[in-house]
């Protein structure tokens, strides 16, 4: 009905199609980004019951990760230290700091300090700490530079894509065994050294699984 539609209406459909394409593109790109852990979990930094500083203990004082998280090399799960571990030192240092009251209370009562877990993998994912450390994958690969963090937050996305990046290319992430808890360690640039490090993949028989059942058991 040309009495109804003006001449300009003839251009309208093309415009609509173009807009739909643009909007559709933006929408799918947006969903792809915002609906993932990459966006929603990175930076998750809950307030803990005790303002424990990794930057101080690990970064400044140089206490090794394994002093507190003592099972991480031997067990599938890495432990959060008991208050017993804290009290090893804090029965002597800062014994009456009000900030440490929950630790002392826990030590006295036997109930654990209610730490809030930061790095959470879904229940359907099987993740074994010890095997990763045994094959030269450092803490820093998944947890980021904990040694610089006043309060621990999630640094990496821990999505499946994140896991797969490494499982598909372990050579780019592997390091000598004696450096796994050295979070400041830099990969050497010398080609001979690099070759040696990348050779660990072969030497240690590193064959990270890429099948579904590798992680979803």
Partner 1 sequence: MPAEPYGLIATFETAADIYHAAEQVRDAGYKRWDCITPCPVHGLDKAMGVKRSIVPRISLAGGLTGFCTGMSMIWWMNSYDYPLTVGGKPLFSPMFAFPISYELTILFTAFATIGGMFIVNRLPMHYHAVLKYEHIRRGLDDRFFVVIEARDPKFNLAATRALLEQAGGLAVTELEA
Partner 2 sequence: MSHGSDQAVAAPAILSEVKPAVLPRPALVANNRSFSWITEKICGIIEEKTPRWWWVCFGVACFVASFTVAGLTYLVSTGVGVWGHRNPVNWAWDIVNFVFWIGIGHAGTLISAILCLLRQKWRTSINRAAEAMTIFAVVCAAIFPVFHVGRIWFALMPGYLFPFPNANYIWPNFRSPLEWDVFAVSTYGTVSVLFWYVGLLPDLAILRDRFFAAGNKFRSALYGFFAMGWRGSNRHWSNYEMAYLVLAGISTPLVLSVHTIVSFDFAVSLIPGWHTTIFPPYFVAGAIFSGFGMVLTLMLPLRAIYKLEDLITQYHIDCMCKITLATGTMVGYAYSMEFFIAWYSANPNESFAFINRAFGHYAWAYWIMITCNVITPQFFWFKKIRHNTALVWILSIFVNVGMWFERFVIIVTSLARDFLPSSWGYYSPSIVEIFTFFGTFGVFSVLFLLFIRFLPIMPMAELKAVTPAADPHAAPDHH
**Residues in touch with partner 1 (CB under 8 A):** 1-3, 5-10, 12-13, 210-212
Give the shortest CB-1-to-partner 1 separation in angstroms: 6
Question: By CB under 8 A, what part of segment 146-165 binds partner 2?
Answer: 157, 159-162, 164-165
Environment class of 53 (CB within 10 Å of its CB; exposed 0-12, middle 13-18, buried 19+): middle
35 is a site residue for partner 2 (CB under 8 A)? yes
Give the shortest CB-34-to-partner 1 separation in angstroms: 23
| Closer by beta carbon to partner 2, 10 or else 15 | 10
14 is a site residue for partner 2 (CB under 8 A)? no
**Of 167, 86, 168, 154, nearest in space to 121 by CA:** 154
CA angle 43, 151, 41 (to 5 degrees): 20
| Closer by beta carbon to partner 2, 165 or else 198 | 165
Q: Find tokens 């690990």 and name the residue.
A: 58
21 is a site residue for partner 2 (CB under 8 A)? no
| Closer by beta carbon to partner 1, 92 or else 212 | 212
**Rounded Cα distance, 197 and 184, in Å:** 17
The alpha carbon dihedral of 39, 81, 136, 121 has a sign of negative
Burial profile 128-159: b = 16 or more Cβ within 10 angstroms, e = fewer: ebeebbebbbbbbbbbbebbebeebbbbbbbe
* Binder of residue 211, out of partner 1, partner 2, none (CB less than 5 to 8 A by kind): partner 1
* Binder of residue 28, out of partner 2, partner 1, none (CB less than 5 to 8 A by kind): partner 2
**Rounded Cα distance, 164 and 115, in Å:** 29
Give the shortest CB-6-to-partner 1 separation in angstroms: 6
Give the shortest CB-31-to-partner 2 separation in angstroms: 6
Residues that bind partner 2 (CB under 8 A): 1, 3-5, 10, 13, 28, 31-32, 35-38, 157, 159-162, 164-165
């Amino acid at each position: 009905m040309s009495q109804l539609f003006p001449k300009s209406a003839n251009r309208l459909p093309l415009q609509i199609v173009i807009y739909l394409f643009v909007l559709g593109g933006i929408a799918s790109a947006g969903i792809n980004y915002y609906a993932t852990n990459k966006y929603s979990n990175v930076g998750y930094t809950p307030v803990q019951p005790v303002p424990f500083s990794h930057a101080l203990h690990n970064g400044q004082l140089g206490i090794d990760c394994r002093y507190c998280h003592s099972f991480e090399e031997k067990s599938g799960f890495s432990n959060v230290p008991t208050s017993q571990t804290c009290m090893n030192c804090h029965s002597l240092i800062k014994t009456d700091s009000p900030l440490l009251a929950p630790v002392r209370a826990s030590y006295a009562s036997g109930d654990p300090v209610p730490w809030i877990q930061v790095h959470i993998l879904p229940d359907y994912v099987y993740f074994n700490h010890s095997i990763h450390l045994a094959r030269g994958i450092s803490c820093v690969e998944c947890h980021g530079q904990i040694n610089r963090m006043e309060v621990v937050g999630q640094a990496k996305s821990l999505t499946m894509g994140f896991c797969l990046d490494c499982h598909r290319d372990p050579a780019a992430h592997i390091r000598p065994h004696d450096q796994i808890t050295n979070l400041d360690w830099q990969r050497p640039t010398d080609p001979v050294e690099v070759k040696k490090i990348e050779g660990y993949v072969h030497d240690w028989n590193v064959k990270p699984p890429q099948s579904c059942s590798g992680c979803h058991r």
